[in-house]
């Protein structure tokens, strides 16, 4: 029997009424691309507005959406945590949330709060927000 490969991620517990609402929060949202008849100014304005991504905006990090997962099943989340003691700690909190957002540690590449123009190691960890409870970093 081979052991599954684990990944390092930050875990957030969230509560949404529907899966669609959770997806709109957790993933990038794009307006339809302007038609070919759009002017350069209209297309530029579209580029400025897109994408919107409530998760990244609320965390105030620059992020790569390829390393973000949304889970509604607590067992799916628990299966990705390598440490039995960490799994038990999270297990005791899962009933408080309808969904979970897993953000790979490699997904976060910059801090929107920073005034520095240099991309470097993060100086702050993710934290609770108005919509999410930060459950910790795993693996």
Average pLDDT over residues 59-70: 94
Average pLDDT over residues 73-87: 94
The string of pLDDT tens digits covering residues 95-124 is: 999 999 999 988 998 888 876 665 556 678
Average pLDDT over residues 16-37: 96
Alpha-carbon separation of residue 43 from 33, 36, 48, 53 (angstroms): 8, 9, 9, 19
Is the sign of the CA dihedral 76, 77, 80, 86 positive or negative? negative
Band of residue 6 on the pLDDT scale cut at 50, 70, 90: confident
Question: Above 50 in pLDDT, residue 36?
Answer: yes
Average pLDDT over residues 8-36: 96
Secondary-structure percent of the chain, ordered helix, strand, coil, rounded to 5? 35, 25, 45
Question: Above 60 in pLDDT, residue 4?
Answer: no
Predicted pLDDT of residue 98: 97
Cα pseudo-dihedral 101, 105, 109, 112, rounded to 10: 50
Range with the poorest average pLDDT among 8-17, 73-82, 86-95, 107-116: 107-116
Q: What is the pTM of this model?
A: 0.86
């Amino acid at each position: 029997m081979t052991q599954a490969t684990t990944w390092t991620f930050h875990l957030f517990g969230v509560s949404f009424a529907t899966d669609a609402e959770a997806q709109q929060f957790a993933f990038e949202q794009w307006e339809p691309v302007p038609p070919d008849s759009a002017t350069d100014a209209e297309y530029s304005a579209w580029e400025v507005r897109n994408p919107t991504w409530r998760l990244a905006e609320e965390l105030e990090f620059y992020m790569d959406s390829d390393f973000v997962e949304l889970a509604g099943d607590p067992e799916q989340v628990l299966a990705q945590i390598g440490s039995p003691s960490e799994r038990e700690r999270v297990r005791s909190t899962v009933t408080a949330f309808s969904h979970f957002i897993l953000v790979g540690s490699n997904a976060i590449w910059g801090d929107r709060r920073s005034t520095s123009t240099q991309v470097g190691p993060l100086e702050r960890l993710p934290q609770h927000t108005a919509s999410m409870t930060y459950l910790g970093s795993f693996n």
